[in-house]
Amino acid sequence: MNNGCGRIPEPAMVNRSFCFIVISLFVAAASMAQGPQTTHARNADLFLKVEIANTVKTSKLRPGDVISGTVSRDVYSGEQKLVPAGTSIRLTVDKLEKRRRQRNDHWPWVIQAFTPRHENFPIIRSATVTMPDGSTMPFDVAWFDLHRERSVSAPPPVSGTSHPKAKKTKQAPPPQVITLEASRTDGAPSAVASAHGPVIIPAGTEAKIILLDNLSAGKNRAGDAFQARFIEPVKLDSGVVIPEGTILSGNVAKRTPPRMLSRAGSLFLTFTGLQLPGESPNPTAATITAAQLDQRSHTRIDREGEFKGERPGKAWMLINGGVTAGIAKEVDDGTQLVIEALVSTATDASTAGTARIAATCVSGVFMLTRHGRDVVLPKFTEMHVQFNRPATPSAPKPSGAAATRD
């Protein structure tokens, strides 16, 4: 066969074909190893939050184990309350799967560098809810995370009179919670939101949403888009104006990654669009007022709704200080060994000063270049938002005459 540059030998053609087949098989195997893409988050019918009755260690769970708990908040489907808070639920472990460990802002990089990158994670695919009347409701579920949760709220607006700070009291650790994506398996159809006419939602209206994307100050950039979903309907005097399942879209307006000198990062999110099921998005504006974060997260919310990492604590500084001391010792000893190997007349006494200067410089640079805490908002983070200005969730429906003319 001639390709214009000369005849290609038959062995070369065979080798090229063989390489192409091997590469194709490798790509296919890699795709199979990754498994199906979990794109059902945005198409999930429901989101359940389960409070675990007893402390659970994921490393101790085995296939077939049952986890008992209660639904911690009301579960809605469209405009209908499907499962009330406090309802009993049983989760069955299907199998164990190795997955990448989630990022957090609790420990400095020194600890995270020696933490295993992957962990054995139990996969739960089925759950059974026992309703107050004794009936059961089965669900297909996907388990995302298990942690202890704390509420972080923006401080109240500044007033003319200052209020004394509340004294911190030692409280019991919050219970473990699991966030689940769920869909009913009993054949019952999901509730569909009824069509509403144009309704104006006044400024100051509050709502609960759940984040559908992973966000962080260290990874994301200004302008990155994300989506959230309403997990409870918004009601006014006229009834439900925003059903559960409505999508709230937004962008990363500003972010500051963790910086040197242990300065923490920050993340400011803005919401730009409101989209009812089956409708086109409409512009809106809202501010984050509270969030449910991991108990170990060192993140707060300021009055403008911006997430900010807290300053490093004592444990953080002690760990970095210990590593700095170790580096200084190694540089001191290493510098003396190198000088004595290069200069035959050098002694420990004559090289001690030079080694100490080198150790001080290296350890000082290391300490100064330590970055502060990151702001990490995992997928399915629950947040409270407040509308900044009046919003119209759906566009006006065309009249019959107008529709006929069109």
Contact 52, 178 (CB under 8 A): yes
DSSP code for 276: -
Least Cα distance to 258 among 307, 323, 213, 328 occurs for 307
CA distances from 301 to 4, 90, 159, 293, 376 (A): 67, 34, 18, 11, 13
Is beta strand 88-100 parallel, antiparallel or unpaired with respect to 66-71? antiparallel
Q: How far apart are CA 194 and CA 180, in angstroms?
A: 26
**pLDDT digit of tens for each residue in the chain (406 aa)?**
444 444 444 444 434 444 444 344 443 344 333 333 333 334 457 888 999 888 888 778 888 889 899 999 999 988 888 899 999 999 988 888 877 766 666 666 666 666 667 777 788 888 999 998 999 999 998 876 788 888 889 888 765 555 555 455 566 678 888 888 888 876 665 555 554 556 788 888 999 999 999 999 989 999 999 999 999 999 888 688 888 989 999 999 999 998 888 788 999 999 999 988 778 888 999 999 999 998 888 899 999 999 998 887 676 677 777 777 888 888 888 888 888 788 878 777 778 888 888 888 887 887 777 788 889 998 899 999 999 988 887 654 444 433 334 4
DSSP sequence for 333-401: HHHHHHHHHH-TT--HHHHHHHHHHHHHHHHHHHHHT------EE-TT-EEEEEESS-B-SSPPPPPHH
Q: How far apart are CA 62 and CA 123, in angstroms?
A: 10
| Element (DSSP H or E) covering residue 11 | helix 10-34
Which amino acid is located at 195 in the chain?
A: A
Question: Looking at residue 270, what is its pLDDT?
Answer: 94
- Helices then strands (H, E): number in the chain? 5, 21
Is beta strand 266-275 parallel, antiparallel or unpaired with respect to 282-283? antiparallel
Contact 147, 175 (CB under 8 A): no
Least Cα distance to 104 among 293, 297, 267 occurs for 297
Partners of 240 in beta bridges: 235
Question: Looking at residue 290, what is its pLDDT?
Answer: 94
DSSP code for 161: S
Is pTM, for the whole model, over 0.75? no
Least Cα distance to 209 among 266, 156, 271, 140 occurs for 271
Max Cα separation, the chain?
103
Least Cα distance to 255 among 216, 312, 210 occurs for 216
Q: How far apart are CA 40 and CA 50, in angstroms?
A: 20
Pair of tokens at residue 166: 């509340």
318: three-class secondary structure by DSSP: helix
Pair of tokens at residue 263: 């300065």
Contact 106, 375 (CB under 8 A): no
250: three-class secondary structure by DSSP: strand
| Element (DSSP H or E) covering residue 27 | helix 10-34
Contact 290, 302 (CB under 8 A): no
Pair of tokens at residue 197: 């006419």
Q: How far apart are CA 238 and CA 124, in angstroms?
A: 40
Would you list the domain boundaries of the chain?
Answer: 41-155+174-186+206-312+373-387, 314-368
Contact 196, 233 (CB under 8 A): no
Q: How far apart are CA 195 and CA 200, in angstroms?
A: 15
